[in-house]
Chain A
Amino acid sequence: MRFSVFALFFTLASVAHAELVFEKPLQNLHRMREDGHAEARFAFKNTGPETVTIRKVRTACGCTSAKLDRKVFAPGEGSEIVVRFTFGSRKGAQRKMITVVTEDKKEIPLDLRVWVHEPLTISPALVYWKVGEPPMGKTVKLTTSDERIGIKSVASSNPRIAATLLPAKPGEPTMVTVTPADTSQKETAELTVQTDFPADAARSYTIHARVK
């Protein structure tokens, strides 16, 4: 009898932790800005020996919503969480965090990274030199997502930092070389890339240059 009470005590104390395992907790997507939104499916499975109840799926931004078809999962069962990120005015490299909270207060982070591409993508958007560094030209790549987009010019706000548009080969990105006159002192320049698209309101983009 004495041992049976102890056995019961320890059995109740060692309840196994339930576990949800996500196939791809980090997802990288690339979308065009005009798509308006990106949708990611986070598939998961209950790999533990206990039933798991998802209490809530928390998103940290009003621009992100998460859908789940049910909340209780027996061992071996699984489903997917559908996360929808609405871009609004957002562009470039975006990161949205989603947290799955289970009934036993365990928190599982999900990470959605979406590159919202504009008609023209600039990489890198910053070139810099340290003061005293050799004033070698640095190259910036301009990639267009639409054949109708033409790059008309690149102009620098600072005559001591020059930008040269290199002739583009068919099907390849356009390159810009940025070169400081010298690097003896700190310099700042914003380089404006002027396109001819869209025809009725041609857009411009910015490359940042600094001597630091």
Chain B
Amino acid sequence: MMRRGLREVALLAVIAALPASVSAVVQLKWRPPAPLAEGEVSAATARLWGEKVLWVDARARAKWERKKIGGAVLLNAEEWDASVPRFLDEWDPEKAIVVYGDGAQDDAAAGVAHRLKEELKLDGVWVLQGGWDAWQQR
């Protein structure tokens, strides 16, 4: 009786191991994209928008000076008052505004996007999902 039970357990383990191995290989290679939060746009979609985007860099000035998305305007919480006029000079009502921060665990971009909508009453403001980190993983 005991041996029969052990045989069944072993058999089940073998049966379970096959699909589990296939699943493990597939999941390691492919991870479903994280769902977009309200007001977020994925890097893939933003790339499709091409020239119809004004990029806003919400990171620290040193990071913006070192490397940025092409044509990105600096606008962060630390230099808000001084940077808004320059941002508005670049702004085009016909273009979407996509704000990016460092990465997924940084809320600087969400903060800047919120201020653009609430204080300047701008429409078409998006946050790049995953920020600069996601943009670089092309």
| Closest-CB distance, A4 to chain B (whole angstroms) | 9
Number of A-B residue pairs at CB separation under 8 A: 76
CB-CB under 8 A from B62, the residues of chain A are none
B114 touches A113 (CB 8 A): yes
Give CA–CA (A210, B86) in the complex, Å.
Answer: 12
Q: Chain B's nearest CB lies how many Å from the CB of A26?
A: 9
- Within residues 96 to 138 of chain B, which ones have a CB less than 8 A from any CB in chain A? 105-108, 110-111, 113-115, 117-122
CA distance A126 to B78 in the complex (A): 20
CB distance from B79 to the nearest CB of A (A): 10
With an 8 A cutoff between CB atoms, is A130 at the interface?
yes
CB-CB contacts below 8 Å: A57-103 with B? 58, 60-61, 89-90, 92-97, 99
Question: Contacts of B113 on A, CB cut-off 8 Å?
Answer: 95
Closest 7 CB pairs of A and B: A93-B118, A60-B107, A95-B114, A97-B107, A126-B120, A124-B121, A95-B111
Total residues of chain B contacting the partner, CB 8 A: 33
| Contact indicator per residue, chain B 71-94, by CB within 8 Å of chain A (1) or not (0) | 000000110110011001101110
A99 neighbours in B (Cβ, 8 Å): 105
Which A92-137 residues have a C-beta within 8 angstroms of B?
A: 92-97, 99, 109, 113, 115, 123-126, 128, 130
Which residues of chain A from 189 to 206 have any CB-CB distance to chain B below 8 Å in the complex? 190, 206
Interface contact A126-B121, CB-CB below 8 Å: yes
User: Given the known A-B contacts A92-B80, A115-B118, A126-B121, are A1 and B107 also in contact in the complex, defined by CB atoms under 8 Å?
Assistant: no
Q: Is the C-beta of B12 less than 8 angstroms from some C-beta in chain A?
A: yes
Contact A212 B115 (CB under 8 A): no
Q: Once the chains are docked, how many angstroms separate the CA of A140 from the CA of B110?
A: 25
